[in-house]
A and B are shown apart, each in its own frame.
Chain A
Amino acid sequence: MNQSLRETVKRLFTEGKVKSVLGYREHPLSKAVVATLITRPEDADTLIFDDRCVQNLARALTRDLPLPVGIVVKGCDGCAVSMRITEGDFAREQIVAIAVACAGVRADGKTLDERCQRCEMHVSPLADVTVGDTSSLPKPEKTRAETIAKIKAMTPAERFAFWQKAFEPCTHCYACREVCPLCNCAVCVTDQNAPRWIEQTAKPSSNLMWHMIRAFHHAGRCVDCGECQRACPEGVPMHLLDLCLAEDVEELFDFKTGVKQGGKWPFLLFNPEDPDSWLGGPHRG
């Protein structure tokens, strides 16, 4: 895998298809896998891909990188890049997606990440080149519906109590926001202070406000890379809420993020036939 990845990247450089490549490297000292940006073909030999590559590099895509930029993408990462192109962050030709066959990652070094157990997207749908054997990738072990079934089964009061407890350790560090490839607002609502939508300190009301607005902003955009939850230093399961809404968006608008190129985010569209039942019943008049 590493060898063919490196050769592919070198070829992209020599063919002039990329000016830089975002990828993973093993830090020579700490041995941890970190993100790296290479701008010369000879540096391609530092690139690696294996099940320690837990990060979603799409968060590091910015327009000040030397463009076109190549990016090593797993399935979920590719969906995120695709979504960013859909939203107009980048032109299609500014990105060269280097899709790697991903059998899932292991953040703890041992067990398959929970997010990968339900993965249906082992290879990025956005792929300019594909590296690795895509023929023998695992099937999902469970579904999104199963993941959120326990929340669905709760009464409203139980749900409220569940989230209050889940959000309680939140310290408003916003690592979930920074790590998210699709948190790309120019100024985040939490950073706005006139009006102050979300108060800066951690307390029940501001925790709930932050996680609700975060989930809402990701409705129909979240690609289920699960980075928010992985990044959280306090282990807040905020990604569950994203999954709940993803289920709704798929049901309401038949939209699956990042999968189909050239699609549009459902909130930027409407259908005159959209039923009034969405709003809690038929509306007179």
Chain B
Amino acid sequence: MSADGQTACRIDIQDFEGPLDLLLFLIRRDELDVTTIHVAEVAGQYLDYIREAEDLNLDIAGEYLVMAATLTRMKSRLLLPVERALMDDTEDPMETLMRHLVLYKAFKEVASELRENESIWRDVYTPPGERDRYEEDVTVTDPGQTSLLELLLALENMAEKNAPAPRHRIHKPLLSLTECVSVLDRLLSLESAKDFSDAVGKDADQAVVVSFFVAILELVKRGWITTEQSYPFADIVMKRKTERWEMNA
């Protein structure tokens, strides 16, 4: 560990844009050249830094830990004597990392050049043009190219132009439970079963179906009919169980 290694964590991990950035910082701090640095040395410093950060319970992003693992593996490889022949097969991960560092460093530098451009051009102002005053109100749009907002605006315009007089809508009341039960009373016999769809009729509307369904539930609850269904969503088969149905009982 270098002399100032102890204070390494005073450098906030939040100041770095990731493990590569931190590595570059450590390399530059020791005035090393990215292309010629000794991996073991930098790896050691990186690991020290992460360990200290962990001791301080700092929240360390996963990427930093992955890099730490990679560096540890590299360091351990350095300690092992490896047959030259074996080495040639696989690419040296250190070289890959160095290439990666060089690449990242270049982008980092370019980014800071762009930062300079940004600060110059942020101070540049343009006349606002005529965009607000002469906004086209008739735009030809290809089918399918209209935005939802435009459609809604168009709809609103139309609605305003020929707004209909307010109307009352009268809802047909649901069939009452007693009505449904009396229909079923007439339909169902003790001898043969009957399909639900037959009971409500072929093109029954939703309200009718719901009313009859509620009636069936009531009848089952009272133990007056039995129902069967061969599979989910299949037609419900109903069978009468008791002779007399006394609704008010």
Say if A and B assemble together: no
B residues adjacent to A (C-beta < 8 A) = none
Tell me the A residues contacting B by CB distance below 8 Å: none
